[in-house]
Chain A
Amino acid sequence: QVQLQESGPGPVKPSETLSLTCTVSNGPIRHYLWAWLRQPPGKGLEWLGSIYHNGTTTHNPSLKSRLTMSVDTSNNQVSLKMSSMRPADTAVYYCARSPFFDYYFDYWGRGTLVTVPS
C-alpha cells in the first residue's frame, strides 16, 4: 500500500517561508505527478501545484510566484516551499499522487496543519 507522509513546521510566522516535505513509501516516485493541495479550516480543497519525477512543475496561477517545488527521487521525497506566508495561508496542507495524464488523486497524505498567526 502506497503511503504519503507530510512533514512540516506547525506554526509559521507571517512573511516567513513555509517548507514541507512529502515522503513516499511502498511505491515509486517515477511516472506519477505529485501534487500539493490545501484546505483552510472549514473550507474546500485548493490545488497549489504539482511536479513530475523529472522536475517539471505546474503551479496554480494565483500562487505561482510564491511556490517552489522539488523532487528527490533518491529519497522518494517531494518538497514544497511557499514564501511570504500570511494568516490566510493557514490550512491543512496535503500531498497527493496522480497517475500521469489521468488527473485524479489516488493516494493522499494525512495532511499537516500549518498555522500562520495574525
Chain B
Amino acid sequence: QSALTQAASVSGSPGQSITISCTGSSSDIGNYNLVSWYQQHPGKAPKLIIFEVTKRPSGVSQRFSASKSGNTASLKISGLRSEDEADYYCCSHAGMKTPWVFGGGTRVTVL
C-alpha cells in the first residue's frame, strides 16, 4: 500500500486536458513543497517532469503543469497527445527518516 494515493487510471481524448491527483497527509505533501512527478513509459525508467511542486526541468513540455493545495498535489496535462500515454507517479519528501514516499501510479490512456 502506497503512502500517497492516486487514481489507478485516467483517460482523455487527444487535445483534451486531464488532471491527476495525489493525496497524502500533513506529514508529507502538506508539510513540504517538495513534490515531484515522474512519467514512465512501458519498459523504461521513470523520467522527472515536475519538481518542487510546480517546476519543470529543462526540456519538459509546457503542457505539463502542477500545483498543490493542502495535502493534495495535482498534475495537469494539457493538449493531450498519444505520447503522453504512460504511467505517472507522484512523490513527496516526508522527513529525514523517510526522504521519499510515492503514490501508486496513475495510468494515462489517450483514447
A residues at B contact (CB < 8 Å): 33, 35, 44-47, 50, 58, 60-61, 94, 98, 102-106, 108-111
Contact = CB atoms under 8 A, between A and B. Distances in A.
Interface residues of B, number: 25
Contacts of A104: 34, 36, 48, 51-52, 91
A50 B36 CA distance: 17
B89 A106 contact: no
A58 B96 contact: yes
Do most interface residues of chain B lie in helix, strand or loop, or is the interface mixed? loop
Given A102-B51, A104-B34, A106-B48, A44 B89 contact: yes
B101 interface: yes
Given A44-B2, A111-B45, A105 B36 contact: yes
B52 A102 contact: yes
5 A-B pairs with the lowest CB-CB distances in the bound complex, closest first: A104-B36, A104-B51, A103-B93, A108-B45, A47-B100
